[in-house]
Structure 1
Amino acid sequence: MLVDYAAPVAASPAEAEAAAVSAEQVGYDGFAAAETRHDVFTTLALVARATSRIALQSAIAVAFARNPMNVAVLANDLQLISEGRFRLGLGSQVRPHIERRFAMPWSRPAARMEEFVAALRAIWAAWATGERLAFRGEFYRHTLMTDFFNPGPNPYGNPPVALAAVGERMITAAGRVADGMLVHPLTSAEYLGERILPVLKSARGNLAGFRLEMSAMVVLGADAQQRARAEEAVRGQIAFYASTPAYRPVLELHGWGELADRLNLLSRRQAWTEMAAEITDDVLNAFAVTGDPATVAAGLRARFGRVIDRISLYTPYEADRYQLAAVRTALRSEPVSD
């Protein structure tokens, strides 16, 4: 299992750059940046110039805020700048954000995402071969590429594409057209084993060469007081995710469908404190691993060690970097639990 460092979601591009340099120096395998307050491609361009070894991941770039040509250019440039270290992680976001924040169209997200990736690959293929670009789909049409705008074949090849997915249709799309899948932090071991893996295998036939990557929620601290603060933040983050209707199937698997409904109603009132209080210990323990670094590493190994290829730690609080480093070391050295 490779261990990546995930930049704090509120980090500025410059802060992410500094964090990536530090992550490379201490031995992380990869660096993942999210797209929340800043453009993820801008952030990773800075990171690519400041580092030389560490793999780079957009986790995620919002696909439907753009179009396949935009993303093809951005990803191609990052692959060039990083000299082949870039991995393109794409996600759909949810309908209100696409329509109301980005003013972009939304319909049939899984089918649209599958076509998005197909268009992306068609554009890259046209650049690599010089053949005419002639992609015509239901959602996207790309039929013009002159030499003036053609960057030509990328000497490092095209970056691998991973899709973020939770529901069955998007998981199927990932299995059909992507090189890997980004497993959402609100994922239990049971949901991964009983829902995600069977759907992927049905879509692909087998998982050979297909990489599963995950940002896993952990409650980490040097003492009980630090862990209590971390636990409060993680309860709030679980409540936030679980209030989103798209993530309801995860809770339903555990018999917590009514909790998802309550959280959704509370979120409409922005009752964030009340929402966090709804997260019982059972819910917390299903989606997060708690303890000191050795305990956290052992828990992550037991849950995901045989399935997840790359992992990062999701900490919606200010985690001690030495504690994070200790988890990384333990993850690499600890055998998979029976």
Structure 2
Amino acid sequence: MKVDGGIAADPVEAAQTARNAETAGYAGAWAAETSHDPFLAVQAAARETTHLELGTSIAVAFARTPMTLAVTANDLQRLSQGRFILGLGSQIRTHIENRFSMPWSHPAPRMREIIMAMREIWSCWHEGTKLDFRGEFYTHTLMTPFFDPGSSEFGTPKVFLAGVGVKMTEVAGEVCDGFIAHAFSTPEYFRQVTLPALERGQAQGVRGRTEVAWPVFTVTGTDEGEMANAVTKTKKQLAFYASTPAYRAVLDVHGWGDLQSELHALSKQGRWDEMGSAIPDEVLAEFAVIGTPDHVATEMYRRYQGLADRVTFYTPYRVKPGLLDEISRAIQAQSAADQT
């Protein structure tokens, strides 16, 4: 099981955080799309690292077209010398229509078509095939030599897709190299819902097993004060996700569906500060790995080995420098020992 770190979203800070992740021994590092372009962060990181895998987690697919994604991902694959992972996600309708001013409809079929169109474009460049993609949402039929970057010794990047719902997860299994689990997920939900959906998708595709990357809520610290802060901040973040109707299915698996209704009502009343305290300890324990750094390393490996191929630490609070690096090294040591 690989352990990944993060790349600062701000391109000004991205290079340093990527260097730190590589020095600390992480297998990869991911840049999120929030208030900055994640591709610029990866570009900065690629120039300052040599073996760290670099990915977006996630870039908003529906804010772009298959061609723009194909061009950017192809360039980053070359710049990183084969280390780039294109991690895509859909975002939600409100953001796509009102923030990005882009169309929204049939998200799972549209996402499938984006990825298939990208692969057709890459095939045109790398294998010399004629570009002739005609889909329901996208059409790409023109590629003249002037706009063709040609093939590369580093090939095409891996494509990972984030999802929570069954349909998007099936798309990941069918047409992607990897699946990015949502942090608001549990091992039980993964076994009951996510894994069967991935397997159904894989049965329809030709790409084989889908790699799983999982950002895991991590609650840790070196004293009681740090632990208390970690618990409070993590419960608050869990409450934010749990208030969203689209994520109710995760809670339903555990018989906690009523909690979603309660939190949604609080959010509608603007009572955000009260929502974290509504998360019971048993819910926190199901979504997060909790304990001292040594315990977290052992428990995270025990809980996610066999489910996730790579994990990242999701800590919605400030962590003491170097603490997560120690946990990462301990997990990777356990993984290496099991393989010998």
Whether the TM-score (by the shorter chain) exceeds 0.5 is yes
In the TM superposition, residue 332 of structure 1 has moved relative to its aligned partner by: 1.5
- Where 2:290 maps in the other structure, the secondary structure is strand
| 1:21 alignment partner in structure 2 | 19
| 2:75 alignment partner in structure 1 | 77
In the TM superposition, residue 334 of structure 1 has moved relative to its aligned partner by: 2.8
Amino acid at match of 1:256: W
> CA separation in 2, counterparts of 1:158 and 1:334?
32
| 2:128 alignment partner in structure 1 | 130
> CA separation in 2, counterparts of 1:7 and 1:266?
33
| 2:145 alignment partner in structure 1 | 147
Q: How does 1:236-251 map to 2 (within 5 A)?
A: 236-251=236-251
Which stretches in structure 1 are left out of the alignment for 5+ residues? none
> CA separation in 1, counterparts of 2:319 and 2:183?
17
Deviates more, 1:201-210 or 1:52-61: 201-210
Q: How does 1:296-335 map to 2 (within 5 A)?
A: 296-334=296-334
> CA separation in 1, counterparts of 2:129 and 2:139?
16
Q: How does 1:200-239 map to 2 (within 5 A)?
A: 200-205=198-203, 208-239=208-239
Q: Is the 8 A contact 2:25 2:329 kept in 1?
A: no
**Residue 52 (str. 1) matches residue 50 (str. 2):** yes
Q: 1:199 to 1:209 in 2, by over 3 A?
A: closer
> CA separation in 2, counterparts of 1:296 and 1:15?
28
> CA separation in 2, counterparts of 1:253 and 1:333?
33
> CA separation in 2, counterparts of 1:258 and 1:67?
39
In the TM superposition, residue 215 of structure 1 has moved relative to its aligned partner by: 0.8
> CA separation in 2, counterparts of 1:77 and 1:307?
32
Amino acid at match of 2:96: I
Q: Is the 8 A contact 2:7 2:45 kept in 1?
A: no
> CA separation in 2, counterparts of 1:255 and 1:273?
25
Which stretches in structure 2 are left out of the alignment for 5+ residues? none
> CA separation in 1, counterparts of 2:258 and 2:209?
38
Q: Is the 8 A contact 1:87 1:161 kept in 2?
A: yes
Amino acid at match of 1:13: P
In the TM superposition, residue 256 of structure 1 has moved relative to its aligned partner by: 1.6
> CA separation in 1, counterparts of 2:263 and 2:334?
37
> CA separation in 1, counterparts of 2:156 and 2:208?
19
Identical residues among aligned pairs (%): 46
CA displacement 1:81-105 (0-9 Å, x = unmatched): 1011001100001111111111111
> CA separation in 1, counterparts of 2:5 and 2:178?
18
TM-score scaled by structure 2? 0.95
In the TM superposition, residue 146 of structure 1 has moved relative to its aligned partner by: 0.9
Q: How many residues get paired?
A: 335
Deviates more, 1:297-306 or 1:220-229: 297-306
In the TM superposition, residue 208 of structure 1 has moved relative to its aligned partner by: 4.8
| 1:261 alignment partner in structure 2 | 261
CA displacement 1:125-178 (0-9 Å, x = unmatched): 111122221111011111111111111112200001010011110111111110
Deviates more, 1:207-216 or 1:289-298: 207-216
In the TM superposition, residue 50 of structure 1 has moved relative to its aligned partner by: 1.1
- Where 1:321 maps in the other structure, the secondary structure is coil
Q: Is the 8 A contact 2:32 2:57 kept in 1?
A: yes
Q: Is the 8 A contact 1:293 1:330 kept in 2?
A: no
